[in-house]
Amino acid sequence: MKTIAEYSADVESAIRSLEFPGGNLESLYGPIAYGLSAGGKRLRPVILLMGADAFGEAAGKALTPAVGIETFHNFTLLHDDVMDRSDVRRGRPTVHKKYGENAAILSGDTMLTLATEYVTDVDDDKLRKVLKTFDDMAIKVYEGQALDMDFETSDKTSLPEYMQMIEGKTGSLLGASAKIGAIIGGAGEKDADLMYDFGMAIGVAFQIQDDWLDTFGDPTTFGKPIGGDILNSKKTYLYLSGISEHPDYADALRAAMNMAPGESKIKTVTRLYEKLGIKESAAKAVAHYSSKAMTSLKKTSLGDEEKEAFKKLAEKLIGRKK
């Protein structure tokens, strides 16, 4: 198997060599090329390529499907940015900011169909399984995004709904990437499902850790200002597990979260979290899902070298700077 950096470079160069119609259709394909050129870790296609290589040295065959998974991911970012009215992504204007909202909607739609085309560029005997994995995943992502939007206006959000949301928005896409790679590599159904579980658990661990870092992270390495979620009264894993596991303090948590945005709000909420032991329990949840991922990985029929490669990827992703 190659290194993560090598797989990532393969994806990057495949994306750079994509060709779209020119002529009178720049208004449709310009925004797509722009969206796809933003770079990033290319994590999802890397997992797909690793799956294909691990099970059948088939990363060469899996390159177009890998680009498809990244195209799907970028389509969701593009439409999410429209819905969130976000103006900046990766230091550049978002697609709708640069090309207008209508172009962003239509180019996003086009990316979803292109993603389907790319992902299903597999041998005929694998087409049904790959297509079903892809479509099922897409539905879960939309459901996760719908819940996420509902959370903003609802004050009845529960921890199970939060878990459903991050499983949909983050877990299912990582799971499907790993599974589609495995299928292309020739994995049997059991192995393919275990790889899905592996990716899903990594995604969930990553998302809870992201919530943890936003409050308890090291400001010099986190990349964003600490406390942003608290300032925005976001319903995070920290907040919702606090409400559900400490009913006696639910009102205090709600009151703290209703404070006016500012340093004092960040301090008050953070101290409550610490007092209730949420700092530790959330870190435990990250460890729990990480170890769940490892358990799934171990159960596969992969050899030690392949297992080690996936373990490294998980550590790289979840063992982030705290």
Single residue of 74, 110, 170, 236 touching a second copy by CB under 8 A: 110
For residues 147 and 151, what is the distance between their CA atoms, to the nearest angstrom? 6
Single residue of 35, 45, 108, 185 touching a second copy by CB under 8 A: 108
Single residue of 2, 12, 33, 109 touching a second copy by CB under 8 A: 109
Query: Could you say whether residue 287 binds a second copy (CB under 8 A)?
Result: no
How far, in Å, are 10, 31, 141, 218 from residue 17 at the CA level?
11, 16, 28, 38
Number of chain positions touching a second copy (CB under 8 A): 37
Dihedral sign (CA 250, 292, 140, 51): positive
Q: Which stretch binds a second copy (CB under 8 A): 21-29, 62-70, 171-179, 225-233?
A: 21-29
CB-nearer residue toward a second copy: 71 or 268: 71
Shortest Å distance, C-beta 158 to a second copy:
9
Shortest Å distance, C-beta 256 to a second copy:
26
Shortest Å distance, C-beta 19 to a second copy:
14
Query: Could you say whether residue 303 binds a second copy (CB under 8 A)?
Result: no
Query: Could you say whether residue 189 binds a second copy (CB under 8 A)?
Result: no
Q: Which two tokens stand for residue 118?
A: 């790319």
Q: Which amino acid is at 155?
A: D
Q: Which residue in this structure is represented by tokens 């579980």?
A: 197
Query: Could you say whether residue 28 binds a second copy (CB under 8 A)?
Result: yes
Q: Which stretch binds a second copy (CB under 8 A): 47-55, 105-113, 299-307, 313-321?
A: 105-113
- Kindly write out the interface string for residues 140-169 of this chain, putting x where it contacts a second copy by CB under 8 A and - elsewhere: --xx-xxx-xx----------x--x-----
Characterise 122 by phi-psi region: left (phi > 0), alpha (psi -120 to 50), beta (else): beta
For residues 51 and 192, what is the distance between their CA atoms, to the nearest angstrom? 9
For residues 311 and 184, what is the distance between their CA atoms, to the nearest angstrom? 21
Q: Which two tokens stand for residue 320?
A: 């982030």
Query: Could you say whether residue 131 binds a second copy (CB under 8 A)?
Result: yes
Query: Could you say whether residue 106 binds a second copy (CB under 8 A)?
Result: yes
Query: Could you say whether residue 86 binds a second copy (CB under 8 A)?
Result: no
Query: Could you say whether residue 102 binds a second copy (CB under 8 A)?
Result: yes
Shortest Å distance, C-beta 106 to a second copy:
6
Is-contact 185 51, C-beta < 8 A? yes
Q: Which two tokens stand for residue 92?
A: 């550049």
Shortest Å distance, C-beta 114 to a second copy:
7
**What DSSP assignment string belongs to 81-150?**
HHHHT--EETTEE-HHHHH-HHHHHHHHHHHHHHHHHHHT-S-HHHHHHHHHHHHHHHHHHHHHHHHHHH
Query: Could you say whether residue 199 binds a second copy (CB under 8 A)?
Result: no
Q: Which stretch binds a second copy (CB under 8 A): 99-107, 185-193, 220-228, 288-296?
A: 99-107
CB-nearer residue toward a second copy: 145 or 281: 145
CB-nearer residue toward a second copy: 146 or 250: 146
Query: Could you say whether residue 283 binds a second copy (CB under 8 A)?
Result: no
Q: Which two tokens stand for residue 145?
A: 């995004």
For residues 134 and 119, what is the distance between their CA atoms, to the nearest angstrom? 8
CA nearest 184: which of 256, 90, 119, 107? 119
Task: Give me Rg for the CA atoms of the chain.
Answer: 20
Q: What is the four-CA torsion angle of 108, 70, 144, 120, rounded to 10 degrees?
A: 90
Q: What residues make contact with a second copy under the rule CB under 8 A?
A: 21, 24-25, 27-28, 79, 82-83, 102-103, 105-106, 108-110, 112-114, 116-117, 120, 124, 127-128, 131, 135, 138-139, 142-143, 145-147, 149-150, 161, 164
